[in-house]
């Protein structure tokens, strides 16, 4: 294949921060907020112009459960704060009344602690929350490289409307959803083998009714399919190739148009397509291959180094304690992950990719990043104590 040589150049080092968070989805918001509250100077880099990631610009507007489906809340602190923030000015659907109004255990067993929020309102409220806590936000900014020296990231190289330049850092939190910083820095990563099915969600208004149409998206790991021998011929997308993502987006748009016209006809003053996703609705792509890979069979397992708990959004019962070692590797000492790119098995990925897990791991990662620039040597006891002081419950036995 033909190549061209790009001229080498010196770039400006604009400013240095204690913590740089790459990616402004829910994991990035939680990480930046957590680090800032610990007193760190924080820069949040987001390539779009809207916070919330897949939850907002991707229209996946369901804040999945903070409870185990059996009446027990398992995720607390920033995870709950962001849920409440997302519905500050109203709820779209799935109102968890027993959880919001102090219901009984029996009432909570019948209603999971989840909610559907308005994407646009949520993005603005998250932005205001971060600004209130002193986080610097840089929109329209992509991370294109990192400067690594002695197993640590010394600077993050970005590109935006102003050109190409760098920010210095003490530690970095990878919340890109695709483990982009891990890949750029040389940390070990792994790709999702099964691939992602097409999703084509959109909002519509039809004769005064405003609602979300959810076309595609949900899929289960192959090993759980009832007819494992039956071949699934649906087109699948890996999510880390530009051509493929463009193809996926075009296919999603075709699906949306066809579905809308079939069910609603033409747009007029009473009926209209309200909004479509402005980011590819891809779920699992590339992740960290860290010191520990948690598996979906490890439900109810005690981890001494737990940084919080999450539930299984797909069914009631399972609770997972999240070990700190699934947030970082050993090659790049000052790099930690949160959200969709933490270290899990492929079977666990479908559990760990959702909003509550992003918030739980984000809070721990941001706090750890504010505490140290070497995650292999962090005091887990001090980290856990700070999390507990914030209201996080670390172990199922303490519920």
Q: What are the tens digits of pLDDT across the range 25-56?
A: 999 999 999 999 999 999 999 999 999 999 99
pLDDT(312) > 60: yes
- How many residues make up the chain in this entry? 399
How far is it, in rounded angstroms, from Cα 69 to Cα 272? Answer: 36
pLDDT digits (tens, 9 = 90+) for 217-259: 766 566 655 554 455 678 899 999 999 999 999 999 999 999 9
pLDDT(316) > 80: yes
Percent of the chain at pLDDT above 90? 91
In sequence order, which residues have a C-beta less than 8 Å from that of residue 100 and are 6 or more positions away? none
**Buried b vs exposed e over 218-252: b needs ≥16 C-beta within 10 Å?**
ebebeeeeeeeeeeeeeebbbbbeeebbeebbeeb
Nearest to 370 by CA among 183, 108, 144, 172: 172
81, containing H or E segment: helix 78-86
pLDDT(178) > 70: yes
Strands 189-191 and 42-45: unpaired
**Buried b vs exposed e over 306-331: b needs ≥16 C-beta within 10 Å?**
bbbbbbbbeeeebbbbbbbbbbbbee
Q: Where are the domains of the chain?
A: 13-192+284-398, 196-276
Given this model, what pLDDT does residue 229 score? Answer: 46
Q: What is the pTM of this model?
A: 0.96
How far is it, in rounded angstroms, from Cα 19 to Cα 160? Answer: 20
How far is it, in rounded angstroms, from Cα 188 to Cα 345? Answer: 14
pLDDT(346) > 60: yes
- Classified as helix, coil or strand, 48 is coil
Nearest to 217 by CA among 297, 277, 288, 174: 277
Mean pLDDT (the chain, rounded)? 95
- Classified as helix, coil or strand, 237 is strand
Structure tokens at 55: 């939850």
Nearest to 92 by CA among 191, 249, 8, 212: 212
Q: What average pLDDT does the segment 321-341 reach?
A: 98
How far is it, in rounded angstroms, from Cα 385 to Cα 387? Answer: 5
DSSP tag of 347 = H
**Residue 9: which pLDDT band, with cuts at 50, 70 and 90?**
confident
Structure tokens at 107: 């009432």
Structure tokens at 262: 């079939």
pLDDT(105) > 50: yes
Given this model, what pLDDT does residue 77 score? Answer: 98
Given this model, what pLDDT does residue 234 score? Answer: 80
CATH 3.50.50.60, applies to 13-192+284-398: yes
The dihedral built from the CA positions of residue 256, 260, 261 and 266, taken in this order, carries a sign that is negative
Given this model, what pLDDT does residue 223 score? Answer: 62
DSSP tag of 332 = S
């Amino acid at each position: 294949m033909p190549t061209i040589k790009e001229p080498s150049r010196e770039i400006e080092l604009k400013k240095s921060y204690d913590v740089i968070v790459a990616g402004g989805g829910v994991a990035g918001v939680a990480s930046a907020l957590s680090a800032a509250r610990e007193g760190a100077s924080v820069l949040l880099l987001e390539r779009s112009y809207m916070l919330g990631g897949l939850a907002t610009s991707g229209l996946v507007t369901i804040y999945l459960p903070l409870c185990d489906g059996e009446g027990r809340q398992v995720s607390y602190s920033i995870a709950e704060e962001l849920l409440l923030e997302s519905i500050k000015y109203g709820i779209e659907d799935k109102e968890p009344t027993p959880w919001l109004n102090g219901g009984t255990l029996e009432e909570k067993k019948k209603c999971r602690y989840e909610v559907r929020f308005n994407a646009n309102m949520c993005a603005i409220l998250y932005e205001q929350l971060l600004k209130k806590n002193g986080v610097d936000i840089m929109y329209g900014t992509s991370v294109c490289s990192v400067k690594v020296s002695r197993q640590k990231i010394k600077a993050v190289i970005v590109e935006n409307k102003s050109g190409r330049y760098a920010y210095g850092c003490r530690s970095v939190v990878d919340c890109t959803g695709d483990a982009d910083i891990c890949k750029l820095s040389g940390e070990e990563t792994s790709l999702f083998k099964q691939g992602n099915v097409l999703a084509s969600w959109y909002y519509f208004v039809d004769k005064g009714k405003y609602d979300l149409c959810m076309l595609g998206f949900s899929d289960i790991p192959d090993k759980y399919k009832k007819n494992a021998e039956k071949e699934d011929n649906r087109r699948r997308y890996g999510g880390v190739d530009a051509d493929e993502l463009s193809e996926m987006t075009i296919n999603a748009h075709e699906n949306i148009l066809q579905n809308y016209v079939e069910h609603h006809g033409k747009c007029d003053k009473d009926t209209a397509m309200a909004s479509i996703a402005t980011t590819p609705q891809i779920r699992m792509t590339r992740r960290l291959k860290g010191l520990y890979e948690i598996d979906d069979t490890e439900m109810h397992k005690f981890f001494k180094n737990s940084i919080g708990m999450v539930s299984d959004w797909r069914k009631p019962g399972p609770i997972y304690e999240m070990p700190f070692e699934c947030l970082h590797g050993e090659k790049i000492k000052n790099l930690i992950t949160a959200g969709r790119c933490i270290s899990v098995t492929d079977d666990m990925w479908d559990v760990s990719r959702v909003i509550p897990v992003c918030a739980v791991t984000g809070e721990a990662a941001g706090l750890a990043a504010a505490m140290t620039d070497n995650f292999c040597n962090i005091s887990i006891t001090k980290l856990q104590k700070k999390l507990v002081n914030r209201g996080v419950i670390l172990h199922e036995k303490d519920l």
